[in-house]
A = this chain, B = another copy of it.
Amino acid sequence: MSAVVQNKGQENSTLHFSALEPPRRYLFGPGPSMVHPRVYEALSKPIVGHLDPYFIQVMADVQQLLKTAFGTDGGATLVISGTGSAGMEAAVANFIESGTKIAVFANGYFSDRLTEMAKRHGADIARLEKPWGETYTENEAREFIGREKPKVVAYVHAETSTGALQSGQAICAAAHAAGALVIADCVTSLGGVPVEFDQTGIDIAYSCTQKGLSCPPGLSPMAISQRAMEWLRARTSPVRSWYFDLKLIHDYSTVSHRYHHTAPISMFYALREALLVIAEEGIENRWARHRRCHKLFVDGIEAMGLRMHVPAEHRIATLNTVCVPKGVDEAKVRKRLLDEAGIEIAGGFGPLAGKVFRIGVMGPLATEDNVQFFLKEFQRTLSAEGYSI
């Protein structure tokens, strides 16, 4: 099927749109990641209305399954009808009022984005700065929070721009000691590596669907602690964003089911299925599989004489940053990988532009065979671009 369409305003010309036939890609980038066939099947199921009893049950199932993925019993889980950045904005819009002091652990692109959002919401911002790829120690966390005495603390659990995993234990403990709420960006961690929401002491976590959950992008799952819910109920100034007003969304999705917006039905079907696929594997088994494939990947990378950007103990198991070897043009490597092998990986940006490859090994691609396949193609491509071991 293909269509010939009159172009409005250019009546003499016709536009040709070819049938939708996306190329087959191996998504070894930082996300979106590969999607399980069952999730595609769920996407194509007939929709029902957003207030239909069946859909209310789908939302309830998703919330229940998200509790396991986030690692929370007491926290509320819900889903924002937007992408991961929509979750970030919901976190900022609901917990930052004009003048609220926020302390940000900055070490990559997404802490900068969060800072920018907080600034737009009128926050009083304190930032602790480290180079992209580094993480914060317990002492640094305690000292910074103790000194700044913020009302809200934010950190990025798995920083997609750098490949570094930030432990949240000390940050949350220090924040709670100071009476602050903690926002954790779990966009790249949820479903891929443990989030442990309750155990860590996170108050507000947001994520996406297209990384560790192996679902197409379009929704942002969130977890909110009881303390944070109470804070929200006590807030007197209106949340600037109506669309991201968590009290209204929580009421629609969990409490009264009163209409707020028309939830993306098909995406909820997909997310439910993706979470079921994970639940059937077992989340701990999934994390272990990612760790095994990560080790295999790193061994292969180092066997090629390449270096990882982040020290071993702070790496995200599902997202690897590999240093670009001297003399190699990383953009050419990426283009050749895409053109010749259909493999997508990403480059670095900001201070890491041209310096790292960002390579995801998650979800359906986290198998021994797929890692070996990738390493072989990567080595071949690097060689073609002038790199020799």
Contacts and interface: CB of A to CB of B under 8 A. Distances in A.
B218 A49 contact: no
27 contacts: A1-B38, A5-B276, A5-B280, A7-B64, A21-B45, A22-B45, A22-B47, A22-B54, A29-B49, A31-B262, A32-B47, A32-B49, A40-B45, A43-B266, A47-B216, A49-B344, A50-B217, A81-B82, A81-B86, A82-B243, A85-B260, A120-B240, A120-B241, A216-B264, A217-B265, A243-B244, A266-B270
Given A120-B238, A267-B264, A273 B83 contact: no
B273 A48 contact: no
A272 B86 contact: no
Contacts of A15: 64
A283 to B, nearest CB: 8
B23 A47 contact: no
Interface string A66-98: 011001110000000111111011000100000
A113 interface: yes
Given A42-B20, A46-B40, A47-B27, A263 B89 contact: no
Given A25-B48, A43-B43, A262-B83, A5 B54 contact: no
Given A67-B8, A120-B240, A266-B218, A46 B50 contact: no
Given A242-B89, A243-B82, A40 B44 contact: yes
A145 B302 CA distance: 69
Nearest to A342: B48
Contacts of A282: 6
A309 to B, nearest CB: 19
A21 B263 CA distance: 18
A182 interface: no
Given A1-B38, A8-B67, A17-B272, 4 more contacts: A3-B276, A8-B72, A22-B54, A81-B82
Interface residues of A, number: 90
Interface string A233-264: 00000111111100000000000000111111
A50 B32 CA distance: 8
A243 B262 CA distance: 19
Contact of A116 (B93, B242, B263, B270): B242
A299 interface: no
Contacts of A117: 242
Contacts of A238: 119-120
A140 interface: no
Contacts of A116: 242
Nearest to A282: B6
Given A73-B9, A208-B262, A264-B216, A120 B242 contact: yes
A65 interface: yes
Nearest to A284: B6
Contacts of A40: 43-46
Contacts of A82: 81-82, 86, 243
Contacts of A101: none
A41 interface: yes
A279 interface: yes
B49 A85 contact: no
A194 B52 CA distance: 29
A83 B54 CA distance: 20
A338 B254 CA distance: 22
Interface string A100-118: 0000000000000100110
Contacts of A83: 81, 261-264
Contacts of A7: 64, 68
Given A25-B49, A117-B242, A217-B265, A20 B273 contact: yes
